[in-house]
Amino acid sequence: MGEFMDIHRDMKGISSEQLAEAHQADLDIQDDEGVNFKQAWADPESGMVFCLSEAPNADALRRIHERAGHPADEVYEVPIKA
C-alpha cells in the first residue's frame, strides 16, 4: 500500500460540515477499492482541499473520489516522510 496526497481545487467556500460530509462519503465506500482515507484539510478561501490516504494505487483512490462525487484534480504518491 502506498501513501497518497490528493488535491481538489474547486471547493471555494467549503464549510467544516461540508468537508466532513465529503470525507464521510469517501469513508463509506473506501473498502470497495482497498483505500484508507486518513485525513482531509480545506482552505475555503482558495477552494483547495487536501486528502491523505493509503491505497493500492492512485487509480483506486481516484475511483473512490469520483464515485463519492468529488473527483481529485491531482494525486501524488508520498514515498518519503519525516
Mean pLDDT of 38-67: 98
Mean pLDDT of 4-26: 97
Grid coordinates belonging to 48: 483547495
Q: How confident is the model at residue 42 (pLDDT cuts 50, 70, 90)?
A: very high
pLDDT at position 81: 86
Give the domains, in start order, of the chain with CATH numbers.
Answer: 2-77 (3.30.70.3090)
Q: How confident is the model at residue 58 (pLDDT cuts 50, 70, 90)?
A: very high
- CA 64/CA 7 separation, integer angstroms: 14
Query: Cell 501524488, residue?
Result: 76
Please tell me the pTM assigned to this model: 0.92
SS3 for 24?
helix
- CA 9/CA 31 separation, integer angstroms: 25
21: pLDDT strictly greater than 90: yes
